[in-house]
Homo-oligomer: A and B are copies of this chain.
Amino acid sequence: MVLTREAMPTTPSEARKLFREGSWTQDTLGICNGYTNANLVIVPRDLAYDFLLFCQRNPKPCPVLEVLDEGDPTVRVLADEADIRTDLPRYRVFVRGELVDEPTDIGEYWRSDLVTFLFGCSGTFASALDNAGIKVRLGIDGEKPGFGVYRTNIPTVPAGRLRGPMVVSMRGVRSDLVSRAVVVTSRFPNHHGSPVHVGDPAAIGITDLSTPDWGAGPVELLPDEAPVFWACGVTPQEVALESKPDLMITHSPIHMFISDIPAEQQASS
């Protein structure tokens, strides 16, 4: 039986079961709307302090939600005991600055000295934007998306051995709704919060908005839309390419960890 996105379960634990079994290996756009999404980075204990410090110094792209103890693959805060080695649809494995594998589970890479970091994702505020009347075209229905993920020339603040450029996600937002998009997302500081840039893509080193570095494919802005840019959790993957640590395992872009926690419970108070 071929699973369609529309037929995917709306409960996170059931969706994770399908990821775990390998029944769904595509991206998670539109799946389990209204639940917290998280980015993933796994590094050896030797690099864990540098990475946690990198997150502290770069809270817009890397707001940390949960850190697992050394060698422990079990997510306990964001989920009722999810296994981080299997419960995402697809991963990326970086060895000394090269992407060497994109597996659907990472059992063969697991080691007792690995430390897992889960951090906020703009997928978490997607339903809040939608509820506020800001409809983002994701391109999952054959339409051209008004959403993409891009490398920028905005530098991050280095930490120890880690450095690299910031990655952003862009959403086309109707010009009269830009203010509302800022206010709605500012309520989610642990999920990148408010935009880092509104307007001219060239000012942050994006030469062609129509061809994102990651996403569902050729992006198109409507005439009345402004490009609005949020910091993105793909940033550490660029850090892996530039800083060349011995090992970093991440989610594959837009193939997110889906948490049991309703997104609204992640809003600031």
A residues within 8 Å of B by Cβ?
Answer: 48-49, 52-53, 55-57, 64, 67, 186, 189, 193-194, 268-269
Query: For residue A182, which residue of chain B has the nearest CB?
Result: B269
- Contact of A268 with B48 in the complex, beta carbons under 8 Å: no
In the complex, what residues of B have CB within 8 A of residue A55's CB?
56
A193, B269: Cα distance in complex, Å: 8
**Interface majority SS on A: helix, strand, loop or mixed?**
helix
In the complex, what residues of B have CB within 8 A of residue A268's CB?
186, 189, 193, 268
- Contact of A269 with B56 in the complex, beta carbons under 8 Å: no
A161, B53: Cα distance in complex, Å: 18
Q: Which of B49, B186, B189, B193 contacts A52 (CB 8 A)?
A: B49
A53, B72: Cα distance in complex, Å: 15
A194, B267: Cα distance in complex, Å: 13
A201, B197: Cα distance in complex, Å: 44
- Contact of A269 with B186 in the complex, beta carbons under 8 Å: yes
